[in-house]
């Protein structure tokens, strides 16, 4: 039986979000620096005692609230992004908890694998075309409202997020920089191979409208997660 375009989109969305949560845990437990928004999540988690996953969901909800004045419209994938990643990241963090005790060389390998996996995961869920992540929607909404470039808006947001996270105790390091430099080009290469193309008559189906990400660039012409 050949899966329908909608079925393929759902499968790739689910797989991408699961792998994304795993990639977050790999970077956090490697201890060499988190993804920009996860620097903030870790800082808030350390200050409040709430779990990393709980904080991730809370921050995502706050970001989604910012969509309202920006007139951004969430998709099925947007909501799934918040819930799946937030729920799964804590079990993955526990599963990989011993990574921090490994020799530095092994931790570098885990962090590198986490960045590569994140690129694959992003290409999978973005390629499903079921809605942008909360943070990506915030960025595109601000670009539309301010008229500033994507680079200026994204950099400004991430500088504020990382600086706040560091002040709260979140970990910024070499892996944070490597992620910022590498994940965009990686997704740029993988996304065309993993995109699910729906026929025009099926662009709006039971799981919600497909989202065309061709004109939603990031560091290398592709949107970020979450």
In a domain, 129, yes or no: yes
In a domain, 207, yes or no: no
Beta bridge partners of 204: 209
Query: What pLDDT is stored for residue 4 in this prediction?
Result: 80
Taking 50 as the pLDDT cut, the residues of the chain under it are: 199-222, 225
179-207 tens-digit pLDDT: 999 998 998 899 999 888 754 444 444 34
Rounded to the nearest 10 degrees, how much is the dihedral formed by the CA atoms of 70, 118, 109, 173? 0
Q: Collapsing DSSP states into helix, strand and coil, what is residue 173?
A: coil
Q: Which of 59-98 are b and which e, b meaning 16 or more Cβ less than 10 Å from the residue's Cβ?
A: bbeebbeebeeeebebbbbbbbbbebbbebbbebbeebee
Residues 195 and 55: their CA atoms lie apart, in Å, by 30
In a domain, 225, yes or no: no
Q: Which of 131-159 are b and which e, b meaning 16 or more Cβ less than 10 Å from the residue's Cβ?
A: bbbbbbbbbbbbbeeeeeebeebbeebbe
Q: Which of 30-51 are b and which e, b meaning 16 or more Cβ less than 10 Å from the residue's Cβ?
A: bbbbbbbbbbbbbbbbbeeeeb
In a domain, 11, yes or no: yes
Q: What is the total count of domains within the chain? A: 1
The boundaries of the domain holding residue 175 are 5-196
In a domain, 160, yes or no: yes
138-168 tens-digit pLDDT: 998 999 999 999 889 989 999 999 999 999 9
Query: What pLDDT is stored for residue 81 in this prediction?
Result: 95
In a domain, 190, yes or no: yes
In a domain, 224, yes or no: no
Angle at 51 between CA 45 and CA 54, to 5 degrees: 100
Query: What pLDDT is stored for residue 6 in this prediction?
Result: 84
Q: Closest by alpha carbon to 183, among 27, 4, 13?
A: 27
**Which two three-digit tokens encode residue 191?**
């996304």
**Which two three-digit tokens encode residue 83?**
């819930």
Q: Collapsing DSSP states into helix, strand and coil, what is residue 198?
A: coil
In a domain, 67, yes or no: yes
Classify burial at 205, counting beta carbons within 10 Å of its beta carbon; exposed 0-12, middle 13-18, buried 19 or more.
Answer: middle
Query: What pLDDT is stored for residue 179 in this prediction?
Result: 94
């Amino acid at each position: 039986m050949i899966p329908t375009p909608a079925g393929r989109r759902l499968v790739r969305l689910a797989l991408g979000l699961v792998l994304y949560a795993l990639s977050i845990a790999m970077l956090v437990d490697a201890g060499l620096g988190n993804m920009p928004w996860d620097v903030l999540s870790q800082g808030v988690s350390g200050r409040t005692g709430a779990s990393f996953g709980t904080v991730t969901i809370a921050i995502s909800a706050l970001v989604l609230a910012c969509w309202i004045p920006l007139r951004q419209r969430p998709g099925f994938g947007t909501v799934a992004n918040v819930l799946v990643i937030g729920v799964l990241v804590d079990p993955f963090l526990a599963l990989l908890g011993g990574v921090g005790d490994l020799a530095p060389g092994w931790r570098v390998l885990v962090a590198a694998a986490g960045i590569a996996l994140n690129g694959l995961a992003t290409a999978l869920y973005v390629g499903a075309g079921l809605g942008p992540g909360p943070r990506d929607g915030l960025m595109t909404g601000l670009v539309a409202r301010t008229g500033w470039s994507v680079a200026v808006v994204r950099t400004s947001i991430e500088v504020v997020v990382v600086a706040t996270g560091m002040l709260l105790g979140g970990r910024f390091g070499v892996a944070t920089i490597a992620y910022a430099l590498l994940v965009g080009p990686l997704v740029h290469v993988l996304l065309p191979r993993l995109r699910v193309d729906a026929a025009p008559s099926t662009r709006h189906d039971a799981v919600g409208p497909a989202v065309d990400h061709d004109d939603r660039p990031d560091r290398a012409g592709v949107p970020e997660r979450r």
